[in-house]
Amino acid sequence: MVDVIVFVACAAIILGGALGVVLNNHPVRAALSLVATFFGVAVLFIQQGAHFLALVQIVVYAGAIVVLFLFVIMLLGVDSSEDVSHEPLAGQRPAALLLGAMVVGLILAGLFVSGPGGDDGAVALTGRQSRTAAISTLDESQSDIDLLADDLFTRNVLAFEATALLLTIATVGAVVLVRNKGGEDLVVDEPGTAAS
Partner 1 sequence: MEVTETWYLVLSAALFGIGFVGLLVRRNPLIMFMCIELMLNAVNITFVAFSTALDDVAGRTAVFFVLVVAAAEVVVGLSLVVALMRRRPSLSVDELTSLRG
Q: Which of 114, 117, 159, 161 binds partner 1 (CB under 8 A)?
A: 159
CA distance 45 to 53: 7
The residue (of 1 and 116) whose beta carbon lies closer to partner 1 is: 1
Distance CA 58, CA 61 (A): 6
Residue from the set 9, 64, 74, 78 that interacts with partner 1 by CB under 8 A:
64
Query: Which has the closest alpha carbon to 29: 39, 38, 19?
Result: 19
- Binding mask 24-43 toward partner 1 (x if CB under 8 A, else -) reads ---x--xx--x--xx--x--
Taking CB under 8 A as the rule, which mask of x and - marks residues 97-136 in contact with partner 1?
x-xxx-xx--xx--x--------xxx--xx-x--x--xxx
Closest approach, Cβ 43 to partner 1, in A, equals: 11
Residue 73 makes CB contacts below 8 A (sequence gap 6+) with 27, 28, 31, 80
Alpha-carbon gap, residue 3 to 10, rounded angstroms: 11
